[in-house]
Each structure stands twice: as C-alpha cells, then as structure tokens.
Structure 1
Amino acid sequence: PFDSYRDAASTAPGTLPSPAAVGDLLGEAGVGSDDTIVAYDDTHGVFAARFVLTALAYGHEDVKLLDGDFSSWRQEYETTDEVPPVEPTDYVINTLADDAPIVDREAVEAAIDSGGTTLLDTRNEEEYEQRHLPGAIRLDWMELVDEETRGVKSGDAVETLLADRGIPTDRETPMILYCNTSRRLSHTFVVLRSLGFTDVAVYEGSMTEWLDADGATEAAD
C-alpha cells in the first residue's frame, strides 16, 4: 500500500518512512537485499515510482519501474489472481544510502540563492501558475506519459519537451524536483534517471513543507 512507504506521522506527508519501517516492508514481502524488484501500479506508474525512489534512497540498487501499468500490461499479457507464497526475509536497513537522492529545505534554499541548479515543478499547470518555487520550471509528470500506451514517452519526445521548456539536456545538469508531497516527482525522477541524467535530487518536503516554513514563492505572469 502506498502509505506504507511514506511517513504518515510526519507533518510533511511526503517524508520517507524510517529505515526500520522500510526494512520490515521489504522483509515481509520476501525481498532479499540482492533481489531484483520490479514495481508497478495501475496509475501510469506514479505510485510505483514512489516505491522505487524509496528503495533506492535506502540502498536497494536493483529496483525498476514497469514501463506502463497493470492496465497496459494486461492488454498484451496474461494476468492471474493467484497470490504467490511469500517467505519473509530479515531485511535490515540502518540509514539512508550515501548517495540517496534526497535534499532538504536548506539545500533547496541554497540552490535558489546560488543558481546553477534547475528546479523542476512536477505539478500541473494550474498549481504551478498559482505559486511555485522561485525560478522553477514546470514539467508536469503526466507530460512524460504516453496516453495511448500508458507508459513513458520515447526518449526523443522527452528530449524535445525538455528543450521546449528551456530545461538543460546535459546529463550532468544538477536538478531538484518537487511537487506537493513527493509522489508525482518520483515518476519524473525515475524517467530522468532512465534517460541518463546523473545529478537528479528530490526535495522530500516539497511544497507542503516549503509553505509551512513561509518559503518564498512566485506566481506565473
């Protein structure tokens, strides 16, 4: 369940759960530390992407997002209602991975002040126009989804979209993604990483935390 890999007790709903909670979640699912995980959902991958981000942040390196979702899968492949047997594992996580792609509010403030980092707002146009982080560029996560296949658009199509928005396509460009509660940004994070962007981070608290802290915002012209 989606809420099991978010910290429901946090004042910022997008906060990651504790290391122990994630370890328990993976262990109860029978996942070992060297296993390959493929995550999917039936909402274009946005909830599954949040799981992928969580697993990566806690050091599970071999985790992937199904391109598409359950609805697109069953158009071409068989499905089953059988529940496989699960043998729980002892999955121990002590802390975030050293290369966890997570940044806090102070890091975002520093990025805004210094420049050189591209801020991407993954919410929809209406939300963005109402208010957004200073200097942020809108890249609605759904714009990366092919409506027909329910999967991710081609690499060329994504490249064109980025260029049209004035988003650098240099794969080493520092980027910070945000939304409201760190769900929608997860899909954009996975897509950009799959295209070879190497310096992509996510603002865990996102707009919820930013507004609670009276952070500066801009409105569209």
Structure 2
Amino acid sequence: MSEVVVPAAWVADRRDEVALVDVRDAWEFDGIGHVPNAVNIPFDSFRAGEHTAADEGGDSDDGETGMLPGGEAFADLMGAAGISRDDRIVAYDDHHGVFAARLLVTAELYGHDPAKLHLLDGDFSAWQRERETTSDATDVEPTTYEVADPTEIETPLVDADAVAAAADDPDAVVVDTREDWEYEEGHIPGAVRLDWRELVDDETRGLKPRDEMETILESRGVTPEKRIVLYCNTARRISHTYTVLRHLGYPSLQFYEGSLTEWEREGRPLETGS
C-alpha cells in the first residue's frame, strides 16, 4: 500500500518519529491550534514572491524556474524548523492538502528523498474533528538542511519545449489541473482538463476512494501507462495532483514548474474552449 498520502491514524501512531509540518499562516497555527508536535512553515515563506514571476521572468532569486524559493532560502526555513534531509516529513494545511503538497514537491526538487515525503489525507479541519490539537509551541532544535541544485539531480521537472513535444506524443498526456473556466479561457494545445479538486472528497476533506479516482482519471485518458505532464498557472495545484498520482503508483510523471505563467510569457500558442 502506498504511503505517499497517509491517513490520520498513521500520523498519530508516528507523531514522535516524523517531522510534522503545518503550512498554514502563523496566526492559524498559533491561534486556532495545530497537530501536536507540528512545526509551522507558512506557505508564503517557501514560495517565490509574485514580483519574481512578473518582473524577473518567472525565476526565483537563485535563478530557478517558476515559484521555487531558492535553495538557500528553503534550506534556512527547513533548518530553522529543525528538519534535516534524513527526516520523514508529513505536511498538512487546511485546504485539502494543496498547499502542503507544494511543500513536499519543493523538498523533492531540492533533493529530499521522495520516499520520505508524505501528505496527510484530509487536512487540519478533518484532523480537528476527531483528534487532539494544541496551541502550545513545539520545541525546535535548529539543524542544517542540505539542498541540492534541481538542475544537477534527477527530478520530474520539464521545460516548455518538453511540454510542447509531449502534446504531440501519443504516449504522453498533458494535464491542465485548473478549473473549467480557466481551461476554456486558454490552455496549452492538446491538454486535457482535470481540476485537482475532482480527486478530493469535500466531506472527508481528503482523497476520494481509489476506485473513484481511477475512474475519473481514466475518463480523461490519464492512465498509468502514459507519461503524464502536469501544469496549472503557478505550479501550486499541480503539486497536489502530482502527489496523488505518485500515491496511485503512476510511474512516469513530469512537472512543468513554469506552468502557464511561463508559457504565456514566452508567447506560446493557446487553445480556447472546452
């Protein structure tokens, strides 16, 4: 059984063995409470600023693509939270996991072993319904978090040329994880639409049952034998879909970090309509 997306019971049994990361805003973490033993690394802190994407061609301060924060900045955040590259990380948020998934993907792109990266199935609200929370500060012992250069290690990252080629490849599927109206206004030619929320159960706030997800994916041609190339606007929503497909055992996943922001900036073609 996959341990990419893990249930609350799995986390509760291992709270002392994993690094629990809450990516909500600090006021939520402190004021509303959090999972015991969790540390807070707010989403905005590991995300390149919007000025970066607009003014610097979509590159971070370290010259990396998309919305990556830069290796040094990410290392400082993780180290200050007491997390090392050897740690098994479980991340959560209060938005069905989409922000937490972005932390996990960022860690993977900087060299953290993906086998040690886990998403809580459900989110803080789901946890809070049935399990203990606390507002007590978590004791943290700062450490050194080592990062790798995403361009020098094997990662799922692909560039715009690779995405364009995939759109013409019968063995690949380019997947747009945005909402219907966004897709209709303009999408990469040949892309299929799969709103990331379609795989989420609004009641449990976690993933839908596996058979339901597989039925949805198959209806869009997103099947395990294909090479799946994911994009959205700024690589947040694809982080969730990427994590879910990893959970389902899809063997060939590619991640367009630049996403539509970069695609449009480069003047590449768009299709409109459903």
Q: By the TM > 0.5 criterion, same fold?
A: yes
Greater shift, 110-119 or 83-92, is seen at 110-119
2:167 and 2:191 in contact (8 A); partners too: no
Structure 1 counterpart of 2:254: 201
- In 2, the alpha carbon distance for the partners of 1:113 and 1:38 equals 37
1:145 and 1:151 in contact (8 A); partners too: yes
- In 1, the alpha carbon distance for the partners of 2:171 and 2:87 equals 37
Report % sequence identity: 51
Question: How many residues in Structure 1 have an aligned counterpart in Structure 2?
Answer: 219
- Residue 2 of structure 1 aligns with an amino acid whose one-letter code is F
2:176 and 2:230 in contact (8 A); partners too: yes
Structure 1 residues 115 and 214: alpha-carbon distance in aligned structure 2, compared to 1, 3 A threshold: farther
Structure 2 counterpart of 1:50: 102
- In 2, the alpha carbon distance for the partners of 1:137 and 1:75 equals 36
- Residue 97 of structure 2 aligns with an amino acid whose one-letter code is G
Return the offset for 1:164. 1.9
Q: Does 1:181 align with 2:234?
A: yes
- In 2, the alpha carbon distance for the partners of 1:6 and 1:172 equals 32
Runs of 4+ in structure 1 deviating by more than 4 angstroms, as ranges, are none
1:20 and 1:94 in contact (8 A); partners too: no
Structure 1 counterpart of 2:271: 218
Q: Which consecutive unaligned segments of at least 5 residues does structure 1 have?
A: none
Matching residue within 135, 140, 147 for 1:86: 140
Structure 1 counterpart of 2:76: 24
User: After superposition, where does 1:4-153 map in structure 2 within 5 Å?
Assistant: 4-8=45-49, 9-11=52-54, 12=58, 14-61=66-113, 62-96=116-150, 98-153=153-208
- Residue 183 of structure 1 aligns with an amino acid whose one-letter code is R
- Residue 33 of structure 1 aligns with an amino acid whose one-letter code is R
- In 1, the alpha carbon distance for the partners of 2:260 and 2:226 equals 22
SS at 2:130 equivalent: coil
SS at 2:90 equivalent: strand
Return the offset for 1:157. 0.5
TM-score computed with the length of structure 1 as normaliser:
0.94
Return the offset for 1:154. 1.1
- Residue 45 of structure 2 aligns with an amino acid whose one-letter code is S
Return the offset for 1:5. 1.9
SS at 1:151 equivalent: coil
RMSD: 1.5
- In 1, the alpha carbon distance for the partners of 2:75 and 2:153 equals 17
1:125 and 1:138 in contact (8 A); partners too: yes
- In 2, the alpha carbon distance for the partners of 1:89 and 1:73 equals 28
- Residue 197 of structure 1 aligns with an amino acid whose one-letter code is Y
- Cα distance per residue 1:168-201 (max 9 Å; x no partner): 42x2421111111111111101000100001111
TM-score computed with the length of structure 2 as normaliser:
0.76
- In 2, the alpha carbon distance for the partners of 1:106 and 1:79 equals 46
- In 2, the alpha carbon distance for the partners of 1:67 and 1:214 equals 38
SS at 2:138 equivalent: coil
- In 2, the alpha carbon distance for the partners of 1:157 and 1:112 equals 26
Structure 1 residues 187 and 168: alpha-carbon distance in aligned structure 2, compared to 1, 3 A threshold: closer
